[in-house]
Structure 1
Amino acid sequence: MTKIIGIDNMTVEEVNKELSHGGKFVVFPYCFSIVILTFKRSSDIHFIKAGEPTFSKNIQFILISLFLGWWGIPWGIIYTIQCLIDNFRGGKNITEQVISALRES
């Protein structure tokens, strides 16, 4: 079961209200490399309220990719750039997938 960070003590109605005002569920991708092996992973799911900045949530994943992602050849460079782009855009929006999964459960 994947953890959702940011919805503690929120009711379903409060989450739905935030979603209707622009809230979203995001993950922050990161990568790390060990010479010829590169691993691309995603953070736990984060609930971002409408208008809430993401920098304090994604900085650790940006730093992991910046310092540990480049070293794998060739995928380290490719994955690092992809992860940085996603994170500087505020994370990868997976709201539709989360809502769909919640409806099925």
Structure 2
Amino acid sequence: MLEIVGLEGMTVEEVNKEIANGAKFVVFLYCFSIIILSFKRSSKIYFIKAGESTLKKSLLFILISLFFGWWGIPWGIIYTVQCLFTNLRGGKDMTAQVIAALRQT
């Protein structure tokens, strides 16, 4: 089963209504480097209601990338820029994939 942050206490009808109004499911990217190894990962899936800002939810992942991501050369720098760019633009939209996965269950 998918673990989605932000759906707590919501009914299926409420979620469908929010999606119809522009809500989306997103993941935030982060990266970290250990000496010469760099890793790029994604967060849990977050439900973002229509008109809701993603900045507060993405801030932790932005900070992880800024402080721990850029150390590895060259991939740490590349991954850090990719993660920051994605997160500052609202995260990676996973709405279509989540809806498809939920319909299969």
Smaller-chain TM-score bracket = over 0.9
Q: Secondary structure at the match of 2:7?
A: coil
CA shift in 2, pair 1:103/1:2, >3 Å: closer
Compute the displacement of 1:26 (Å): 0.2
Question: Counterparts in 2 of 1:60-79, with a 5 A limit?
Answer: 60-79=60-79
- Residue 97 of structure 1 aligns with which residue? 97
Aligned-residue RMSD, C-alpha: 0.8
Query: In the alignment, is residue 21 of structure 1 matched against residue 24 of structure 2?
Result: no
| Residues 31, 80 of structure 1: 8 Å contact kept | yes
Q: Secondary structure at the match of 1:63?
A: helix
Q: Between Structure 1 and Structure 2, how many residues are aligned?
A: 105
Q: TM-score, normalised by structure 1?
A: 0.97
The one-letter code matched in structure 1 to 2:71 is W
- Residue 40 of structure 1 aligns with which residue? 40
Compute the displacement of 1:95 (Å): 0.3
* CA–CA separation in structure 2 for the residues paired with 1:3 and 1:64: 22
| Residues 2, 44 of structure 1: 8 Å contact kept | no
Gap runs ≥5 in structure 2: none
The Cα offsets for residues 62-95 of structure 1, whole Å up to 9 and x where unpaired, read as: 0000010000111101110000000000111000
Compute the displacement of 1:35 (Å): 1.8
Gap runs ≥5 in structure 1: none
Q: Secondary structure at the match of 1:30?
A: strand
Percent of counterpart pairs with the same letter?
Answer: 70
